[in-house]
Each structure stands twice: as structure tokens, then as C-alpha cells.
Amino acid sequence: MSWHRRETMVRVKRVGRVMACIVFMAMSVMLTGCGNRHTDGGYSGRAYVNEGGGIDGDAVNTLQAGSEYRIVTPMIELKEAVVDILGENYWPDALLSDEELAERTGISGNMYKNFMAEYQHSEAGIDMMILVEAREDCVGDVERYLNEYRELLLNIYDNQPLNKAKIFASRIETIQNYVCYVQLGADITKLEENGEEEMIAYCQQENERAVDILEKKILSREQEEERQGLSVK
């Protein structure tokens, strides 16, 4: 079997896995009780913890909207900064667990210190924001996996103009060791009649606003940590 054919087969299999994940997520919107709680005995660097009396640090499948889980620092500060800027135009409202992040993107727990992956919990929605505080030697790998994931989404939603425009306009930005995948835009249905370019331009503008505030917050946080480190010395 040729190298090109092997690569094609691997890519097809991965598209299939992503499609299966997306179909499962769509089904979960229509069904209740689909979220499963599980304990991860290994890596603990996840972006949310249980508020409902369970074991602190439990990983959780948050496909079910309105869960009892909350995002923890520093990711909550970054998300809140974006929400403050975009207001009601921030549509992601459900978290991916570490296992779901790995299934979707290939990014595994040994590649990061913290992460937050939040998506729009609706059958047709595509808005999402993924923030990964990568380990220093894994920043390039996280970037590559997110870019590959974006390419897969472009292929999957090629025949859906609204979603394709949002994906095309998405930003993958690396700020220090934080790799940020920002795919926002909220309601662009009114722009559809004006054509793809206007939809893309609007989403790019929203993503730019989000990336700008993320950069300010991340750099500010790291400067504060440096000052605290110097004061301790």
C-alpha cells in the first residue's frame, strides 16, 4: 500500500470519528440524561470541577446542558473576559471533557496543563472556543492538531454556508503557551443574503475582538505571576 493511500485512509477514519462525535452531540440535544460522570485517576489538569457534592476534580461529560459543573481558574477569567466583550453574541454553552477533547482533536492530557473547550449546545450550532494552556514542549503539537481539526470541520460543513463561513473565519492564535481556537459569530442568518464574504468578515471581526481580550488577559496574568515570583525571591 502506498504512503499516499495510507495517509488518505487515516484521514478518512479520523473524519468518520469526528462525524460520529458530532452526530452524538446532536442526539444529546434531543435526549436528556445523556451526560456521564466518570473519575479520571490520571492527569488532573482540566478546566472544570464538580460543584454538586461529588469528588473534586472529576472529569465530566458535559454534553447535557445546564450541568452542575463550573470552569475553574485561570480559564474562567479568560472566558468571562470574552463574554464581557461579546455579551449575548457569545453562544458556546456546554463543555467538552478531556476525553471528548482528545476524541475530537487528538489533544491528549499529557500535552497541556489546563484547557477549556466550550461549544454551542444545539443541533445546528458551530460556535466554539477552545483554550489550551499547552506544556512548553507541546505548543507546536497542539497548534497542529487544532489546525487539522479546523480543516476537518471545513470539509464536513462544506455544504452548509452559515457554518462554513464561521469555520473559515475562525482564528487559531498562540499567546505564550496558550493555544486559542476561537470560532464565534452568533447569529449571521441576516447576513446570508449578502453573500459569504460578508458573513466571513463579520465573524472575523467578532473573533478578533475575542482574541484581543484573550491576549491582554493572558499577558497580564503572566506579568503578574512574574512579579509575584520576584517578590517571593
CB 64 within 8 A of CB 95: no
Tens-place pLDDT, residues 74-83: 899 999 999 9
Place of cell 469555520: 167
Tens-place pLDDT, residues 122-168: 877 899 999 999 999 999 999 999 999 999 999 999 999 999 999 99
Domain locations in the chain?
3-232
Place of cell 475562525: 170
Q: How far apart are the first and last CA of the chain?
A: 60
Tell me the whole-structure pTM to 2 decimals.
0.72
Q: CA angle at residue 123 from 67 to 152, to 5 degrees?
A: 105
CB 115 within 8 A of CB 75: yes
Let me know if 121 is exposed, middle or buried by CB neighbors in 10 A (0-12, 13-18, 19+).
buried
Tens-place pLDDT, residues 159-206: 999 999 999 999 999 999 999 999 999 999 999 999 999 999 999 999
Tens-place pLDDT, residues 36-58: 333 333 333 444 433 333 333 33
Peptide bond into 74 cis (omega under 30): yes
pLDDT at residue 26 greater than cutoff 90: no
* Residues 6 or more apart in contact with residue 106 via CB below 8 angstroms: 145, 148, 149
Query: Using 50, 70 and 90 to split pLDDT, how confident is the model at 19?
Result: low
Q: What mean pLDDT value characterizes the chain? A: 77
CB 105 within 8 A of CB 128: no
